[in-house]
Chain A
Amino acid sequence: MKQLTKKLRVFTGVAFATTLLLSPLVNAGEAENKGLTISKETKERDLGWTDSKTELEMILKNQHGQTSTRKMRLKSIEQQNDGDKSLTVFDSPRDVKGTSFLSFSHLEGNDDQWLYLPALKRVKRISSRNKSGSFMGSEFSFEDLTSFEVEKYTYEYVKEEVVDGENCWVVIQFPTDKHSGYKKRIVWIDQSEYRTRKTEFYDRKDSLLKTLTFSGFNQYADKHWRPLKMEMINHQSGKSTILSYSGYELKTGLDNKDFNKNALKRAR
């Protein structure tokens, strides 16, 4: 009898311990699933934008408040079962005018990128490891500007929070690529339209590096939401970059042949 009681006690103890151990695990699984579901929905709601054209103005501001402006034009095309293709042409500063950048992003593995240098008439490949490198001296890195793909992250749902008067889900995204410049990103996705309102970037040491805020959302083709303004603040350097879009057009009839090396050479 005494032995039975002991056995029972051990059993209860084990069961209790198991419950204690399992409950956070189950919750973690739920948090992961919920984070993934929200992120998938974000991507799926935006499918079918086909292609886009826009003009961009990038205002760089250093820690002393001095500013410098870069202008460019951007064309993108959606790909079935692959990352997007894009072609960027720089218009200012004048000494880089005509420089163009062709990028093929992929769901998995490295992106392909080429730069056209008009003074040398040369197409130069860029090492795909430049993900964490600065785009044109801005606070945006190359990876901040490539298309969002579900496969590029693992997820963890955190909580709900209000941003700009909108109820948002807060989700942590962990990059699957070991060459990403980030340990994680925290995104605020609004519940009404699944638009990303804010992103925090944490460096490899897991300290807050940058905050990106999106504003001036417009809807195109009755479906696709695009912000007119993106502001990136670097908390560690005190520098910031504002990206403003103008003349945004969707479904303009661009074709894959507008995104090859010949198109890169004649872009201007």
Chain B
Amino acid sequence: MQKIQKKWFHHPTMFCLLVGHFFSAQANEFEVRGNIEIQGRFFYEDPLSASQHDNQLSMAAAPEFFWNWNDDRDSLEFVPSARVDQYDDERTHMDIRELSWVHVGDDWETRIGIRRDFWGVTEFQHLVDIVNQSDSVEDVDNEDKLGQPMINLSLVKDYGIFDIYVLPYFRERTFAGPEGRPGIPYVNTDRPIYESSEEENHVDIALRWSHSIDDIDVALSWFEGTSRAPILIPEIINVSDVELRPYYQQVSQLGIELQANLEASLLKLEMIHNQNNIEDYWALQGGIEYSQYGIFDSNADLGWLVEYAWDERGEDGDSTFQNDLFFGNRLALNDVDSTEVLFGLSYDLDHKSTTVLLEASKRVGENVKVSIDGRFFESDELDDPLFLFRRDDHIQLTVQYYY
């Protein structure tokens, strides 16, 4: 017996297998990457509020730690993120973007922890996307999201992917502080109001079915819980001071996503029906993305985007995009440095106001990416939400180092 044991242990194949497994597991197990950035914002008009500044510098970091084991069936991801801003105390903030364990089964997957998940198809506004809160201090485009605690079960069936989410904790939207720019210096994020007595501990539920049939992508979703978009309620503090308090409603929201690929065009539509205790409404965002490949006998690709936004509540509602037209161009040179230029314009047909966005980026060397962004706001009507940004035109320069 002892002899057999000894044989087992010293058998070269067994030895190699154990050692090999150990080392290969080591090689696969852990990975670190991420980026560090320095950003400058340069404003060329006097600010609306005396507390705001003309130039604003900041630094940010987002390392990513990743472990996987059990032949890639289990993984753990940790992505903290932090920004330090020269003036804005609200923009100086930390967040855990991801801290989650993913387990992959045969035709199912569980994702437990803090995560980000995106729903939707359109480019200029993400109506359907509701799982995560926007990290609005990062950028006015609301593309940055805060990590959301969740238990997510995903089932892969022949008739599509089903996702079930339990979202046990609510994250408040971030807003620029009194010294932050662009921003609304009157928002007081320390005094939010919740419709639910459970406040941020209200447990939200979400469901989504998504499927691709040939050239068509379709998705239906349902959300039951605290609205991610707050209503800003003015409150008079004293004779000269007004502050805006974020009010978070309870909502039930149906989401519909449709995307069809016709030749060189992608037709996109997002629709929501939102039920709440103030005013139920429908809203939609839809349009077309047309791509030209290899323009002017070069490697460059040029995309054309046209979208329209509508909200049933109209001008009196809380949406910035109630009757707005969007136009955009995306130029990718497909060169060694991945040079890209994006131009976007939104025009409010009710308020006659315009926002222009310009983004240009390229790689420098192997690890550095440089971006120059411009944001320009044109608004003349007092009741237009954009009116508060009318002096906040700026150029933003970002240098990111990736490792």
CB-CB nearest in chain A for B126? A122
Q: Is the CB of B336 within 8 A of A132?
A: no
Give the contacting residue for B367; candidates A94, A122, A260, A262; CB below 8 A. A94
Contact (Cβ within 8 A) A97 B156:
no
Task: Say how far B288's CB is from chain A's closest CB, in angstroms.
Answer: 11
Q: How far is the CA of A170 from the CA of B363 in the complex (A)?
A: 42
CA of A268 to CA of B294, assembled, Å = 29
The reply to whether A181 and B336 contact each other, CB–CB distance below 8 Å, is no
Residue of B nearest to A61 (CB): B336
Report which of A93, A129, A181 forms a contact with B291, defined as CB distance below 8 A: A129
Given contacts A121-B118, A129-B293, A130-B293, contact A261 B334 (CB under 8 A): no
Bitwise, B280-293 to A at CB < 8 A (1) or not (0) is: 00000000011101
**Which residue, of B106, B290, B335, has the highest number of chain A Cβ atoms within 10 A?**
B335
In the bound complex, CA of A97 to CA of B265 (Å): 27
- Given contacts A134-B299, A257-B106, whether A127 and B75 have CB atoms under 8 Å apart is no
B402 at the interface (CB under 8 A from A): yes
Cβ–Cβ < 8 Å partners of A268 in chain B: 66
Q: Write out, one digit per residue, whether chain A residues 63-78 have a CB within 8 A of any chain B CB (1) or not (0).
A: 0001010000000000
Chain A proximity of B338: nearest CB distance (Å): 6
A28 within 8 A of B: no
Interface string of B367-400 (1 = CB under 8 A from A): 1010000000000000000000000000000001
Contact between B366 and A127, CB atoms less than 8 A apart: no
- Say yes or no: A92 contacts B261, CB within 8 Å: no
Q: Known contacts being A95-B369, A97-B402, A121-B118, is A127 close to B334, with CB within 8 Å?
A: no
**Which of B46-54, B209-217, B246-254 is the contact stretch?**
B209-217
Task: Tell me if A260 and B161 are in contact (CB < 8 A).
Answer: yes
B315 within 8 A of A: no
- Inter-chain residue pair count (beta carbon < 8 A): 108
Give the Cβ gap from B285 to chain A, nearest Cβ, in Å: 15
A247 contacts partner chain B, Cβ-Cβ < 8 Å = no
In the assembly, what is the distance between CA of A240 and CA of B212, in Å?
Answer: 36
How far is B102's CA from A121's CA once the two chains are assembled, in angstroms?
Answer: 15
Say which residue of A62, A122, A141 sits within 8 Å of B118 (CB atoms): A122
A260-B338 Cα distance, complex, nearest whole Å: 27
Q: Does A266 contact B (CB under 8 A)?
A: yes
B279 within 8 A of A: no
With A60-B336, A130-B293, A134-B294 in contact, is A94–B366 under 8 Å at CB? Answer: yes
Q: Chain A contacts of B210 at CB under 8 A?
A: 261
Q: Return chain A residues, CB-CB under 8 Å to B241.
A: none
Please name all residues of chain B whose beta carbon is closer than 8 Å to the beta carbon of A165 when the two chains form the complex. Answer: none
Contact status A95-B261, CB under 8 Å: no
Q: Please tell me if the beta carbons of A125 and B261 are within 8 angstroms of each other in the complex.
A: yes
* A residues less than 8 Å from B145 (CB atoms): 121
Docked Cα-Cα span, A97 to B363, in Å, equals 13
Which of the residues A125, A137, A236, A266 comes within 8 Å of B336, measured between beta carbons? A137
Partner of B266, one of A66, A127, A132, A262: A127
Whether the Cβ atoms of B294 and A181 lie closer than 8 Å is yes
In the bound assembly, the distance between CA atoms of A68 and B265 in angstroms comes to 31
In the bound complex, what is the Cα–Cα distance between A148 and B117 (angstroms)? 36
The reply to whether the CB of A96 lies closer than 8 angstroms to some CB of chain B is yes
Q: B293 to A257, Cβ gap below 8 A?
A: no
Is B352 interfacial (CB-CB < 8 Å)? no
Residues in A with CB closer than 8 Å to B336 are 60, 62, 66, 68, 137
A136 to B367, CA, bound (A): 17
Q: How far is the CA of A122 from the CA of B129 in the complex (A)?
A: 11
* Cα A93 to Cα B401 with chains together (Å): 11
- Whether the Cβ atoms of A137 and B335 lie closer than 8 Å is yes
- Complex Cα–Cα for A181 and B403 (A): 37
B250 to chain A, nearest CB (A): 26
Point out the residues of chain A lying under 8 angstroms from B117, CB to CB: 121
**Within 8 Å CB of B154, what residues of A?**
262
Interface pairs A-B: 10 shortest CB-CB: A94-B402, A133-B293, A129-B264, A134-B299, A134-B334, A68-B336, A137-B334, A122-B118, A121-B118, A121-B116
Which residue numbers of B lie inside 8 Å of A, CB to CB? 33, 35, 66, 75, 102, 104, 106-107, 109, 116-118, 120-121, 143, 145, 154, 156, 161, 210, 212, 214-215, 217, 259, 261, 263-266, 289-291, 293-294, 297, 299, 301, 333-336, 338, 363, 366-367, 369, 400, 402-403
Instruction: Pull 25 A–B residue pairs with CB atoms less than 8 Å apart, ordered by A.
Output: A93-B366, A93-B402, A95-B402, A112-B212, A120-B118, A121-B145, A123-B118, A125-B259, A125-B261, A127-B261, A128-B215, A129-B291, A130-B293, A130-B301, A132-B293, A133-B293, A133-B301, A137-B334, A137-B335, A141-B294, A181-B294, A257-B107, A257-B156, A261-B161, A262-B154
20 other contacts beyond A93-B366, A127-B291, with CB at 8 A cut-off? Answer: A68-B336, A93-B338, A93-B363, A94-B366, A94-B402, A95-B35, A110-B215, A112-B212, A125-B266, A127-B263, A127-B265, A133-B294, A137-B334, A181-B293, A236-B297, A257-B106, A261-B210, A262-B156, A262-B161, A268-B66
